[in-house]
Chain A
Amino acid sequence: MANKQEKSSKSIGIVKKITGSKGFSSLAAALMAILLGLIFGFLVMLIARPGSAVPGIRYVTLGGLGRIGDVFYFATPILMTGLAVGFAFKMGLFNIGASGQYTMGMFFALYAVFMLDLPDGLSWVVAILAGFVGGMVWGAIPGIFKALMNVNEVITSIMFNYIGMYLVDMLVLKNAAMYNPAMTRTRYIPSGAQIPALGIHGSNVNFGIVFAIIIAVVLYIVLEKTTFGYELKATGFNKHASEYAGMKGKRNIILTMSIAGGLAGVGGAFAILAPSAIVGSSMTYEPINIIATAGFNGIAVALLGNAHPIGIIFSATFISHIQRGGTLASLVGYKPEIIDVVVAVIIYFSAFAMIMNTGLGKFVKKRIEKDKKDLEIKEGSE
């Protein structure tokens, strides 16, 4: 009997340790949001086409497993936009402009490929750097507006999503070297200027994902081990206190937004420089006045990953995974948009998941304490 009690109190201790930790609570919150998102998606499928809802949701949740290469291929851009949103979020800035920065970065990368006559191998490296610059410019503007003129970065970023989209569409349409009127899309990038594939069978997954993961790790180090990272997080926790402690808030806002924009821009470069399914072809851009969805998916990725660079690697992979599943769900009559629905619901719930989670944590704690009490009462009665 004594043995049993010891065992149970020990297990209670472990459970408490895990549930009490910060990492667990954000993971639990993310899992909760994902679960609710998938349930809602299932309900929508059930309403839209009741007969095939079960195979549909099976495709969504498990379909990506058979195409791991593609999952990572499509995870690359949203991993970058996720970092762009998450990095700014650490400072308390909501970078909703990742779409515009992504589009800008993509355009700069295209420009570097088509307009600068660079040798193979060097071309894509320069293009990625160009993408960083393009995104950086588009991220710096909201930063400057925020720091110097006190304009809310949310409104500025949204406006610059539109301005960037119209600007890029116009510049692409005017550029004969870049635009193929017959296909109403940009031309294929010469294979020497594409990011080399990793050579996984049946997929074009390329070095982009490797670079993206390296960038995420570097960001983690910057945030955790440098003065800049510390100042950034301090400003995010309490703007006034950090200002009082002598941190240069305005400079940091502009710097953070520039880096965030650059990250999204690199995402755009990774996306457009990637080889695509047809041999020798690449991804293309269609200038039809629509804002890139990669930026908004980046918000979901960043929130699910709790704005933590390493967490974002996993959340980007997950979102990409269900997106692949969503494409497969069209086999049973659904449209890929079902995933956008799921992602939106996930964001909705992750916005208040922390509160839900503290509620859940309290509930678990209460249960544990009650068990303990029951045990004690039992012991006492014996």
Chain B
Amino acid sequence: MDVVYYLVQNMLPVAMPLLLVALGGMFSERSGVINIALEGIMLFGAFFGALFVLSVQNSSIPPQWILLMGMTVAAISGLVYSLLLSFAAVNMKANQVITGTSLNMLIPALVLLFSKMSFNSDGITTNVNFYIREIPILGNIPIVGQLFFQRTYLTVMIGFIFLILSVFLLYKTRFGLRLRACGEHPHAADSVGINVYKMRYAGVSISGILAGMGGFFYSVGITDGNISGHTGVAGFGFLALAVMIFGQWQPLRIMLAALFFAFLRTLAYSVSLIPFLYRLGIDQNYYKMLPYVATMVVLALTSKKSRAPKAEGIPYDKSTR
């Protein structure tokens, strides 16, 4: 039972960045724009979040407040950075995959450049402890309390809140309906007076906000609040894309997919703590490859009946028909 508690407690902070970023990717693709720049946006958000934390870490602000403020900073920076993708994809009708790739390349280089020149290191190191040993009252509930409200981060709860918000926004609001229309059939949407360009800007911007936050949550929950330009977010932006595809562009399924991948990753990094796996004596590097290999297997099995938004990746041009 202790192993189960351990795995769940460690899995959730890993799942949250994947969940948020995959939800971001979902909003972008539902509006018709492929957002392969999620990786870059995550690192951008994480970088500014960490920079903020670094600047206030010696003040008397309580850590959880710093986390919330850092999250806001990360969300705003993610939004700003995603505008570059919107501009290229919507206004300039550029190839979305290439644009995304360039945005992914730009950020690690800028982070390294800045960090090397100002801190003489590869990234930012902060020393605020965001870890929560036990949440009052909720942590006392038997089993559930131990699984979800002990040895955790605030990010877990925020992640679930954003999941609920996303479901609501996508399925229960006029905006969500219009967004989905733009990803399926932009010309039809345009013909009933929906501004496709605006909706796509909105979709990509939401993905920027969520990916920026997700990046910050990655640095909080996985790398102890530090960020490095070399390793960046270790492919989490790309994994999130796979999570989104596995989740068939639907929020709740995306959550399950995110938990699945997070479980595999947690397993990979805690082999030595699980006696059964440790005794098998398989090289730990195989486990490190596991999430990526699993992605491939899952995609191979699900891609035939893919439910991708029909118009994703195709620049919208009013004059074509």
Contacts and interface: CB of A to CB of B under 8 A. Distances in A.
Contact of B97 (A154, A160, A163): A154
Interface in B288-310: 288-289, 292-293, 295-296, 299-300, 303-304, 306
B99 A351 contact: yes
Contacts of A159: 238, 242, 292-293, 295-296
Contacts of B94: 351-352, 355
Contacts of A149: 299-300, 303-304
Contact of B293 (A152, A163, A344, A346): A163
A220 interface: no
Interface stretch (B108-116, B138-146, B161-169, B191-199): B108-116
Given A155-B295, A159-B292, A343-B105, 9 more contacts: A48-B117, A155-B299, A159-B295, A163-B293, A167-B289, A337-B113, A347-B102, A352-B95, A355-B92
B264 interface: no
A367 interface: no
A111 interface: no
Interface residues of B, number: 45
Contacts of B106: 340-341, 344-345, 348
B241 A155 contact: yes
Nearest to A146: B303
Contacts of A25: none
Contact of A166 (B112, B238, B289): B289
Interface of B: 36, 84, 88, 92-95, 97-99, 101-103, 105-106, 108-110, 112-114, 116-117, 229-231, 235, 238, 241-242, 245, 283, 285-286, 288-289, 292-293, 295-296, 299-300, 303-304, 306
A156 B296 contact: yes
B232 to A, nearest CB: 10
B304 A150 contact: yes
B110 A341 contact: yes
Contacts of B238: 155, 158-159, 162
A116 B92 CA distance: 53
Given A158-B238, A159-B296, A345-B106, A151 B303 contact: yes
A264 B223 CA distance: 33
A125 B62 CA distance: 63
Interface string A167-185: 1011000100000000000
B98 A351 contact: yes
Which of B113, B241, B295 is most buried by chain A, counting CB atoms within 10 A of its CB?
B113
A170 B285 contact: yes
A126 B179 CA distance: 55
A350 B88 CA distance: 11
Nearest to B103: A348
B113 A335 contact: yes
Given A151-B300, A155-B245, A290-B231, A94 B98 contact: yes
Size class of the contact patch on chain A: 35 or more
A296 interface: yes
Nearest to A45: B113
Given A335-B112, A337-B109, A343-B105, A351 B117 contact: no
Contacts of B293: 159, 163
Contact of A145 (B93, B102, B116, B300): B300
A164 B109 CA distance: 23
B113 A341 contact: yes
A44 B288 contact: no
Contacts of A343: 105
Which of B84, B112, B296, B300 is most buried by chain A, counting CB atoms within 10 A of its CB?
B296
A234 interface: no
Interface in A325-344: 333-335, 337-338, 340-341, 343-344
11 contacts: A48-B114, A151-B299, A151-B303, A159-B295, A162-B235, A166-B289, A335-B116, A340-B106, A340-B112, A346-B102, A351-B102
B243 to A, nearest CB: 11
Contact of A348 (B102, B114, B288, B304): B102
B101 A299 contact: yes
Contacts of B105: 296, 340, 343-344, 347
